[in-house]
Structure 1
Amino acid sequence: MSKGIKILIVEDDENLRFLVVHRLKSEGYDVLETGDGELAVKTIMDEKPDIVLLDWMLPGKQGSDVCQEVRKQGFENLIIMMTAKAQDVDKIDAYTFGVSDYVTKPFNMDVLVAMLESKVKFLLNNDKSEIHRFGDMEHHPNIHTLYRSGRKIELTILENRILLYFLRNPNKVINRDELMLVVWGYNSDVNTRTLDMHIVRLRKKIELNPDNPQLLQTVRGIGYRFNAG
């Protein structure tokens, strides 16, 4: 049965593209496909898919260029970047390119499907504004933005994912491994130092005194906890 959700897969590896297309069709999605950046721009603007799964490395046009181009032309739907290395995620600047989220390759198909399901739930839910309020702040995860006393603070994709996970699990001690799995995903090659670095950056954006954090606290030897108050 069709879900009525149209997904475009932009991937030049034909085997991978075949597998993803086949799986998503079996899950009830309407699937379009292309392996070329130039063609991707045209297809996105002509077909207006609900979700674009876009490879970072493409012949002819980089995924980031495709993304920037369609955003400039007014395409506002979800664009999920597929990247080969977790490290590349830092290069995927959500603002510069307009990427909504990302998934690292090689991905587990079940993980990809679960990720898409959660996005679709959000698309079908008419209230598209998941907003979390804490202190004098408001977090709008969909647009990677934090408002502090009305002032806009932009978050990277990773900071956005980290903060959202804490806000959905208030006052709960979350260990580093769990957090890394949620943020960087399945089979990630990221170490805890990288995670800690992102926490430090995030604290600079949400804490009154980042050196003495009141919201995002370290739980020694385990991980972190978000004090929702």
Structure 2
Amino acid sequence: MPNNIKIAVIEDDENLRFLVVHRLESEQFQVIQAANGIDGEELILREKPDIVLLDWMLPGKSGSEVCENVRQNGFNNLVIMMTAKSQDVDKIDAYSFGVSDYITKPFNMDVLVAMVENKVKYFVSQPVENLSFGNTEHHPSIHTLIRDGKRIELTILENRILLYFLQNIGRVIGRDELMEVVWGYSSNLNTRTLDMHIVRLRKKIEQNPDKPCYLITVRGMGYKFVDDE
């Protein structure tokens, strides 16, 4: 893994911050840190790290406020929110403050490193371009669709699913593969959860979600994304 990747850890829990920083440094990442939202925001805008690990609950300014402010100031790199398990992940999705992804506490350090390495591989080393299908543009870094000049917000998981399909247009993708790519670090997932997210995604990308023309079900195999335009 390249050692020129800079990661900011914004976390007020001193023990957790020490553990995360120590582990990331041992993986040869450059790590900078702050213990509150005000210092964290200044650090992000000054140092422009490749990835920000940002705690949801921070003194001074909340993680959501920090994320929203740095986005408004032109920071476009990855922001991963660290959030307690008791908090509703869809609540994070509902806010349009520009978080790229999330990880729930308590997390295993191996899981965190695997997630960061995945982000470096797919987003930092080769920044993801905006993709389009039909008359719709997908902006994966801000999990948004643009259609006819209107913005359609995607949840974090919908964004991951759509991005993978757009990177694999025309290929049949099995449910197991999709779950591994999208959830990766969550083994207690069932296919019904995946299918539910597909249904929600179709409502945002299809003219008629009941008769999809982009995201097709391949019976007994999985799904396929088709773009004939």
Fold shared per TM-score above 0.5: yes
Residue 61 of structure 1 is matched in structure 2 by: 61
Deviations 1:68-100 (A, max 9, x none): 233334433321111233973211237621212
C-alpha contact 2:9 2:33 (8 A) present in aligned 1: yes
CA contact (8 A) 1:173 1:223 kept: yes
Aligned counterparts, 1:1-229, within 5 A: 3-85=3-85, 88-93=88-93, 96-121=96-121, 122-125=123-126, 128-148=127-147, 152-170=151-169, 171-175=171-175, 177-187=176-186, 192-219=191-218, 223-228=222-227
Q: Kindly tell me the number of residue pairs found equivalent between the two proteins.
A: 226
The DSSP-based 3-state class of the residue aligned with 2:44 is helix
For 1:42, the aligned partner's letter is: E
Identity of paired residues, percent? Answer: 68
Consecutive unaligned residues of structure 1, counting only runs of 5 or more, are none
When structure 1 is superposed on structure 2, of 5-14 and 69-78 the one drifting more is 69-78
Tell me which moved more, 25-34 or 108-117: 108-117
User: Distance between the aligned counterparts of 1:109 and 1:77, measured in 2?
Assistant: 22
Contact 1:87 1:190 in 2 (8 A): no
By how many angstroms is 1:203 displaced?
A: 0.6
**CA distance in 2 between partners of 1:153 and 1:19 (Å):** 38
The 1:154–1:68 alpha-carbon spacing in structure 2 relative to 1, beyond 3 Å, is same
* Residue 161 (structure 1) shift: 0.8
Distance change >3 Å, CA 62–CA 152, structure 1 → 2: closer
Q: Deviations over 1:180-216 (max 9, x none)?
A: 4433442366665543333222111211211112322
Using structure 2 for the length normalisation, give the TM-score.
Answer: 0.79
1:86/1:189 contact within 8 Å kept: no
Q: Which region of structure 1 is more displaced relative to structure 2, 140-149 or 50-59?
A: 140-149
Structure 1 range deviating more: 64-73 or 158-167: 64-73
For 1:143 and 1:184, how far apart are their aligned partners in 2?
A: 19
